[in-house]
Every structure is written in structure tokens, then in C-alpha cells.
Amino acid sequence: MIDVKDLIEQPEKYRASQEARGEDASLVDRMVEADASRRASITAFEELRAEQKAFGKKVAKAQGEEKQALLAEVKDLAARVKEAEAAAGAAEGRVAELQRGFPNLIVDGIPSGGEDDFVVVKEVGAPRDFAAEGFEPRDHLELGELLGAIDMERGAKVSGARFSFLKGVGARLELAIMQMGMDLALENGFVPVIPPTLVRPETMQGTGFDVEHDDEIYRLERDDLYLVGTSEVALAGYHADEIIDVDAPVRYAGWSTCYRREAGSAGKDTRGIIRVHQFNKLEMFVYATQEDAEAEHARLLEWEERMLAAIEVPYRVIDIAAGDLGLSAARKFDCEAWVPTQGTYRELTSTSNCTTFQARRLNIRERVRQEDGDGGARRGGTRMVATLNGTLATTRWIVAILENHQNADGSVTVPVALRPYLGGMERFELV
């Protein structure tokens, strides 16, 4: 959630953020009005409560007919207090409702606009010229079938459309990618975690997902639990309602299976494993101080790029436009790998700075240390931490590796960095 106090003090900043996102800037005015109504309602309730307490003392001292008359007034006053309390509660609820649906304040300097308005930060590597090499590249599914690595037909037979079996070198390749990512995470102080993949509604909502209207989320209605589309959800909820020490960033690397309905992608990428309902992902999740968040975001992007360099595929980094950020992110970078048979770049990793948005929803704070008069430090109040996330590996990486490293006969050369994770294997041969 956004900081309502900050919005009241600097409404123009939030109007500009809404306009950059292509969202309704009048939501700022509604928030200001709702907060003013909340404050007025609370004041009215507190004044009546004080009057009620004072009146009670007066009744206690009265006798006879005077007391009976005062008791009648007490009854009327009690009804007015109850009405004022209900009004204050309703006003609080209105502010909370608006606050919960208000997108995060964007970081200054990111592109305005929607999905197609991203800015290319850099391009690394050049796509292969398959024509010069004398053959037409095969797509990842054809290669996967030749290698005995991907079986979509049996995936559909067992589970339906957009499910697959990874087997043989396909299964080994995914494990190799994930383990290489985990080793990089461990080198950089991440704690490895295998989190739950079913979470409560309050955890899903706290992370910034709309459980009532998001068609991408799988729900188990009987248990009122949700299947996660990223381990970010469980890792965000891990420290809910806690005060934690983030003097140094707290870093977790979550390895989990993830689930997405892909309801909004009808007719898109129906061939192969680019858009599937179930996949594996290694997700970085970080708790940091508000001051460290931007620097930590840059580090997450750097680690993602190290992974992409290791698998030796051409890629680009894009700065996502405000209107394509989603509710929680204040800034997001995507790393997209070149997919030869599609002649375009496709997302492999994403890293988001969510500032204090998720922490405010989940009530995750740090203790503020204040200087004392003797040059030391003493414990003060609390404030919200910042949260960030980024992907180190997913099932989709198989697409980029197979297509970019294929040979004319359908075999695939294994990137050098992955070979130690595959028992020294240098090539995937046809079966």
C-alpha cells in the first residue's frame, strides 16, 4: 500500500505517478477527501466519547428525579456515540479500500506509457546468422522432440493444454539451470528456501495480487488457498507482522514450482513451453532499508545478467514503462533473450523494486536507530522496510538455450558454464 500521510503532504507527486501509469489521477483527490472524512469522523467520535465519560460522572453524583432525567439523556448520548463509532469505522474502511487499490508510487525517471513504451537500456551479443551457416533454425519444441527432452502431447493427455513433460536431457537441463542460479545466489549471501506453493488470501493480497479479480491465479475454493505464480508471494509473507533487522539486506533465493492460468493469453504462444500453466522458477527476494533499495535493485539486475551471459544467448535489458508495472512495482527491468525462430526478444528474467508497498500491506518493519547525546545509538521507533524481487532461472530458459545453440542436424551444443552441472556433457544428441 502507498503511504497515505505522504500522499496528503505531496499529492502532486502521486498525481504525476498515476498519469505516467495511465491510471485515474482523480484517485488522489478521492484519497485526500476520504482521509479528511476519516479524521473528522474520528474526532467527532472521540469528542462524544469524552462527553459520555464526563456525563457518566455527573449521573453518578445525581439523585432522585434529577438522576432519572440524566439517565434518559445518557441513553440518547450512548446511541449518538454508537452512531459516531460506526461512522468512524466506515470512514476508516473507505480509506483502507482506496489505499489497497492504489498502485505504488513510481520511481522518478522511468518511462511513461504502456506495454510497448519500454526503453531499451542495453543490447548484449548479436543474433546468429543461420542463413550464413546454411540452415534454417528449428524451434524449441521441434528440437525438444528430436532430443527426447519435451513431450507436449503426453502433457496434454495427462493434464490438458499448456502442460508438458520435461524428460531426459530436458529435465537435466532445467535442473542444471536452476542449480547454476542457486550457486550464484549462495555466492552472494542468499539463503536458499523451498517455500510453500499454496498460500492464504491475506498473503496473496499482501504481496499485491488481486485475489478477487485476477484471472491468472489458481484458487482452491474448498480450502481458501491460492497456488502461487512466483515464490515471491510466500517469501514476502515470510516476515509478515514482524520487525526485522535490515542493516544489511536480507536475501532469500526461493526455488519452487509455480502456476499461472494464462487466462489473458488466449491464442498466444500456444506452441511449446513459452506460456505454460506449470513451471519451475528460482526467485530472488530481498528485504532492505528504504535507502538501500535502488542500489539493491541494480545488484539484482547485475546477477540476472551474469546468468544470461553464462548461457551465452544474445539479450537486451529494458526499463518497463509505468503503465506495465503492475500494482506493486515502483520500477521494473526485464531481461529478454533473442529467440531465433520468432525473430524477436522474449522475457527470461524480471526484477522489481517494490519500495515499501508490500511491506506496508504485510506490516513488515525495521527498528529505527537514533543517535544519543554521547555519540552512540539507541533504539527508536519502527518504519517500513523495502522489498525487491528478481528471477535467476525459469523453465522458459530452455527455449533460448535450445534455439540459440542448435546445430544443423538438430543436436544442441551445451553452453560451457552449464557443462559441470550436466556431468561434463558437451552436446545434446538426437534420440
Active site residues per annotation = 260, 275, 347, 350, 396
Are 297 and 353 a contacting pair, CB within 8 Å? yes
User: Which residues, 6 or more positions from 64, have their beta carbon under 8 angstroms from its beta carbon?
Assistant: none
5 contacts: CB under 8 Å, gap ≥ 6: none
Residue/partner pairs of 51-59 with CB below 8 Å, 24 or more apart? 51/77, 52/77, 52/78, 52/81
What residues contact 327, with CB distance under 8 A and at least 6 apart?
103, 104, 208, 209, 210, 357
Spatial CA neighbour of 197 closest among 224, 225, 178: 225
Question: How crowded is residue 59: how many other Cβ atoms within 10 Å of its Cβ?
Answer: 15
- With beta carbons less than 8 A apart as the criterion, state whether 290 and 355 touch: yes
Give bridge partners of residue 114 from the DSSP assignment. none
> How many other C-beta atoms are found inside a 10 Å radius of the C-beta of residue 129?
8
Sequence length of the chain is: 431
> With contact defined as beta carbons under 8 Å apart, do 252 and 193 qualify?
yes
Secondary structure (H, E, C), 339-395: ECCCCEEEEEEEEEECCCHHHHHHCCEEEEEEECCCCCEEEEEEEECEEEEEEEEEC
Residue 71 CB-half CA count within 13 A: 9
> What's the grid cell of residue 292?
538501500
> Hey, what's the cell of 333?
527491468
Counts for the chain of helices (H) and strands (E), in that order: 13, 17
- For residue 386, which of 269, 244, 260 has the smallest C-alpha distance? 244
Count of other CB atoms within 10 angstroms of residue 427 = 12
User: Which three-class secondary structure state does DSSP give residue 258?
Assistant: strand
